[in-house]
């Protein structure tokens, strides 16, 4: 395997990320939504995508469950599989940012090291960590997919927040308190951030 890798050479494109951004008339970045299951990551990313689309922003949304139907269908939920799940999404997201897209990735991604590894794949200001904050108690009350109930009964093992840890972001770019903020308010917080950082318009 290693000998074969020695013969792999990067093939440069004649169209750059800057060219694609100029064509789109906006910059590109990865908005990484992290938080417990049931915190509202996917709901928020769906609504934000609609708002950005209406503004003429080229977007694509990656969701934890959706990706496990295809790209990561071979992975389970062991620590190693979780790490590989996030690694693959990071590489896909990097490609999408290079393509000039605002990429919205909604993943529990419980470990800081995994999230920081993705941050390091991208250029400065291209990784925007959005911590969708909600307590285990509130998420368990919501339990939209019935996962907490299954975890409590032992049907699901290594469930984040119950018998597997979640490491809160140390310095996220954006914190959304989904216990007190509506989805509309949360979307506006993110849009305001993108406008303040001059990411939406060139």
Q: Which residues are catalytic?
A: 109
Rounded Cα distance, 94 and 97, in Å: 5
**Is 13 part of any known ligand binding site?**
no
**Is 39 part of any known ligand binding site?**
yes
Q: Retrieve residue 79's tokens.
A: 């620590």
**Is 94 part of any known ligand binding site?**
no
Bridge partners (DSSP) of residue 33 are 106, 130
DSSP H or E run through 176: strand 174-177
**Is 41 part of any known ligand binding site?**
yes
Which residues have a Cβ under 8 Å from the Cβ of 156 and sit 6 or more positions away?
147, 150
**Is 38 part of any known ligand binding site?**
yes
Please return the burial class of 91, using the count of CB atoms within 10 Å of its CB with bins 0-12, 13-18 and 19+: exposed
List, as residue ranges, the binding site for ATP: 35-42
- Annotated binding-site residues read 35-42
């Amino acid at each position: 395997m290693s000998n074969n890798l020695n013969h792999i050479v990067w093939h440069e494109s004649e169209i750059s990320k800057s060219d694609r951004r100029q064509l789109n008339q906006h910059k590109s970045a990865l908005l990484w939504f992290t938080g417990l299951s049931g915190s509202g990551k996917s709901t928020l990313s769906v609504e934000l995508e609609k708002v950005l689309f209406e503004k003429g922003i080229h977007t694509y949304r990656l969701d934890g469950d959706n990706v496990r139907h295809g790209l990561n269908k071979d992975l389970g939920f062991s620590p190693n599989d979780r790490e590989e799940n996030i690694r693959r999404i990071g590489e896909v997201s990097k490609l999408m940012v290079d393509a000039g897209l605002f990429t919205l990735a909604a993943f529990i991604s419980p470990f800081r090291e995994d999230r920081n590894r993705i941050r390091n794949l991208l250029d400065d200001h291209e990784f925007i960590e959005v911590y969708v904050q909600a307590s285990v108690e509130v998420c368990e009350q919501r339990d939209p997919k019935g996962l907490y109930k299954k975890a409590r009964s032992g049907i699901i093992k290594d469930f984040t927040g119950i018998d597997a840890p979640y490491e809160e972001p140390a310095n996220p770019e954006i914190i959304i308190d989904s216990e007190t903020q509506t989805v509309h308010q949360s979307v506006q917080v993110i849009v305001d951030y993108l406008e303040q950082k001059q990411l939406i318009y060139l």
